[in-house]
Structure 1
Amino acid sequence: MRKAKVQRKTLETEVLVEIDLDGSGKSEIDTGIGFLDHMLTLMAFHGSFDLKVKSTGDIYVDDHHTVEDIGITLGEAFIKALGDKKGIKRYSSLYIPMDESLCRIALDISNRPYLVFDIDFKREKLGSMDTQNFKEFFRAFVNEAKVTLHIDVLYGENDHHKIEAVFKAFSRALKEGVQILSDKVSSSKGVL
């Protein structure tokens, strides 16, 4: 089973993440940031991952430390659950609409972290979450999970719809990328 449990404790936050890449979409999310809870619940459902995220942090300051540390911990859990990556599909790219918004995601589970994040938010916050911290979440995830991730919202008007399309597309790309297709490593180098 491709499962992992990772805990991270700093002077600013305490985060627990449990993930089962071969789950059924069940989630237990409590970050203290309602909008992020909503996005992580969508991520579990649309990726068919079983996901538990529990965090406490200095959200009385703002949500930056908590959001970033959740991204770090989720990335660590993801790569740990993947193990040797043997036989995974590795690549995924897709488009996901959310009403008037359209998101394009391209993903390579490559052991080479890189993020392209092209979203034009009109609002500073969604719920209590700073919209600029979505990039921090994905950057933290990418760096720890060691994936290349391109996120583009091609158009849209409603910021809620834009980021919801992103999380749905991201989770579906992860689901596709971690599918086991063979007993061989999907790299001409013989290792990911």
Structure 2
Amino acid sequence: MRKAEVTRNTTETKIHLQLTIDGTGQQSIKTGVGFLDHMLELFVRHGRFDLTLFCDGDTEVDAHHTTEDVAIAIGRAFSESLGERRGIKRYGSMLLPMDEALVMTAIDISGRGMAVVELAIPSEKIGQQFDTELVEEFFIAFARELGATIHLHQIAGKNSHHIVEACFKGFARALGEAVAINQAAPDEIPSTKGTIQ
């Protein structure tokens, strides 16, 4: 099974997580940021990953360090679980509706970490703690740590919660597709270079 355990301790956050890629959507998540917990629960369920995650962060400052560092830790866990990327489909995409919101997500586990996030989120905050600018920070950190190109493009949407939820659900579905084993070539690294680094 493709699994990883990651511990990341800094002066700003202390994180411990266990990830199973080939899971069923089981989760136990406590970041100290309620909206982030909600998004990660959706991510795990829709990607059918298993994730246990605890973060003790400086949320008395704001949710920035917690959100970014959690993304780093999860991205690192996926990277470690996938190893040399042998057998994965590599690409995944999803066009996901969430009520009036519609978001297109695409991912290439290429070894090159970058995120292109084009969202027009109307409110600056969701809930008490979560600044909506942190959505982009999350996906930038995740992409960098996994070594993946991630695109998130909002096509429609007026409700901030719906737009962000469509991002996390769509990303989960696209990532689930990208990390799935290609049954036609289960032992091949999906690159003409022979490596994904």
Q: Please give the TM-score of this superposition, normalised by the length of structure 1.
A: 0.98
Question: How many residues in Structure 1 have an aligned counterpart in Structure 2?
Answer: 192
**CA–CA distance in structure 2, aligned partners of residues 6 and 132 of structure 1:** 26
Aligned to 2:10: 10
* Secondary structure class of the residue paired with 1:117: strand
After superposing on structure 2, the runs of 4+ consecutive aligned residues of structure 1 that deviate more than 2 Å are: none
In 1, the alpha carbon distance for the partners of 2:9 and 2:189 equals 34
> C-alpha distance in 1, partners of 2:18/2:44?
11
Deviation, 1:114, is 1.1
Is contact 2:95–2:170 with CA below 8 Å preserved after alignment? Answer: yes
Give the equivalent residue in structure 2 for 1:56. 56
SS at match of 1:59: coil
Tell me what 2:192 maps to.
Answer: 188
Ranges in structure 2 where 5+ consecutive residues have no aligned partner: none
Per-residue displacement from partner, 1:108-129 (whole Å, max 9, x unpaired)? 0010111100011111111121
CA distance in 1, matches of 2:93, 2:171: 9
* Partner Cα distance (2:126, 2:3) in 1: 31
CA apart distance, 1:160: 0.4
- Map 1:19-168 onto structure 2 (within 5 A): 19-127=19-127, 128-168=129-169
Cα distance in 2, alignment partners of residues 149 and 114 from structure 1: 6
- Indicate if the aligned counterparts of 2:71 and 2:141 stay in contact, CA closer than 8 A: yes
Instruction: Output one character per residue of 1:53-86: Cα deviation in whole Å (capped at 9) or x when no partner.
Output: 1101110011111111101111111100111211
8 Å contact kept, 2:93–2:173: no
Offset of residue 92 of structure 1:
1.1
| Letter paired with 2:117 | F
Deviations 1:11-44 (CA, angstroms, capped at 9, x unpaired): 1110112110000000100000000000000000
Distance in 2 (CA, whole Å) between partners of 1:122 and 1:18 is 34
Q: Aligned partners of 1:165 and 1:172: how far apart in 2?
A: 11
Which range moved further: 125-134 or 25-34?
125-134
TM-score by length of 2: 0.96
Q: Which runs of 5+ in 1 are unaligned?
A: none
